[in-house]
Amino acid sequence: MASHARQYIQDVWPIIFDHISAILAQAQWFSILLVERTVVGLLKLCQIAADEPSLHDQLFVALDTLGGLPNEVQNAVSEQLIAGLSLLLGQHRSAIRSSTEWKITYGLLRATIAHPAASKQTLELLATLINDESLPVDAVEGLVMVLNDIAALAGAAVEKKRTPHHNPTRSPLIERGCTAVDLLFKCCKFVPRIAATPSGQAQGWNKYALPILISLSHQSVNPCRDVRHTAIVFFQRTLMGPQIMHGGGTEQIVVAFHQTVFPLIQDLLDPGVYAHDPLPGGMSETRLRASGLLCRGFLYYLDPLSSQPETLTTLWLDVLELVEQLMMADTRSQLYEAVPESLKNVLLVMQASGALLSPTNPEDRPEEVQRRWQLTLEKMDSFLPGFLTDVIPLRVQSEAEMAPAAEVNPAEGGANASTAPKAS
């Protein structure tokens, strides 16, 4: 009746909502059919309330009530929830105005991801949001979180079913996990737009771009091989793409490495993480890809980092520390042979750019380059003795080379030499 008499919604809302709230507060004691009808009814009323400015707060009180349902009840009504949310977000997305309201909305979406049918609709809804040209900065963090949770579910399912000799097939759950990672990558396209908005500039890069990188980094150690390999490919593309660092500087680069790249390597070095997929092509392959990402990512940002020499030195030493740990993780693996080759390429590029130069006499290098060389030499000699000077030979000149060539004065010895009598 209330849905057919919209003009009276403000008057009847308190009565209807009190009745619905009483049912939902004890949902576990009622038949699931009654609860489903109650949820559907409340979501229809939310559609009407979204058009009434005076009921704006009540709209999110209602959604928060649905978010407070017990987990087993939420799972049972997941299809009804996602159907109602899809309509609400499709027709009244502008009604969601604050970060708190987005948090409530995403909380309901997260309640649907464990349901096979509902989670498929949830992914479709999230894809629609990503393509929304007006999506605000407040909507980004929760969007990334839901996608991250969908991908994580695939890993949890693989862990639950795995046996020492079991290689799981690509199930619908794994397909959804890979789709979630793909959507995480597609989130990059709205970064430049949000960065240019007043709210994006006010809240900062950490709010709308860093969460995407962090999530892709986390999924790069997902126990599910398909999800993990998809994630690490997209992580590298994102890290070294033009969008994610849009408008950023050295500080953002350092934050990205310390919060996404370095934690990824450290996780892969953890024996417990490695045990998630110890079979050939598993975590050993992921370690190999991650080592390449570490070196290529550092080189990609070498030029902007060079504008702050001390920052470059610090980050470079952190990279070397992880390179050493990767090499020592398994001296019998392909990684043990691959890391020095990657490192050699890094050293040669740094030499060509002037970021890492061997000593010369007289000393002509900037002070920080001198310091960087000495620290690099000490560090590398601890795990690859002589490697640095093999790749970048010392440039110390001999005394003969340093001595200036003798000049002949035509007015003195030169003239005498020219007029000396010839031997007969």
- Per-residue pLDDT tens listing for the chain (424 residues): 556 666 678 888 999 999 999 999 999 999 999 999 999 999 999 999 999 999 999 999 999 999 999 999 999 999 999 999 999 999 999 999 999 999 999 999 999 999 999 999 999 999 999 999 999 999 999 999 999 999 999 999 998 886 444 455 679 999 999 999 999 999 999 999 999 999 999 998 999 999 999 999 999 999 999 999 999 999 999 999 988 887 668 999 999 999 999 999 999 999 999 999 999 999 999 999 999 999 999 999 999 999 999 999 999 999 999 999 999 998 888 999 999 999 999 999 999 999 999 998 888 999 999 999 999 999 999 999 999 999 999 875 544 444 454 444 444 444 344 333 343 3
Are residues 153 and 117 in contact, defined by beta-carbon separation less than 8 angstroms? no
Q: Which pLDDT does position 2 carry in this prediction?
A: 59
Amino acid letter for position 43: L
Residues ≥6 apart with Cβ < 8 Å to 264: 217, 220, 221, 235, 290, 293
Are residues 140 and 211 in contact, defined by beta-carbon separation less than 8 angstroms? yes
Q: What angle do CA 40, 45, 47 make, to 5 degrees?
A: 100
Rounded Cα–Cα distance for residues 297 and 208 (Å)? 21
* 138, two tokens: 């407040």
Cβ count near 97 (within 10 Å): 12
Residue among 96, 6, 166 at smallest CA distance from 109: 96
Residue among 145, 146, 88, 144 at smallest CA distance from 114: 146
Q: Which pLDDT does position 260 carry in this prediction?
A: 98
Amino acid letter for position 273: V
Rounded Cα–Cα distance for residues 43 and 62 (Å)? 8
Reduced to 3 states, what is the DSSP secondary structure of residue 5?
coil
Q: What share of the chain is helix, strand, coil (3-state, %, to 5)?
A: 75, 0, 25
Rounded to 10 degrees, the C-alpha dihedral 392/393/394/396 comes to -130
* 75, two tokens: 């799972």
Q: Which pLDDT does position 410 carry in this prediction?
A: 42
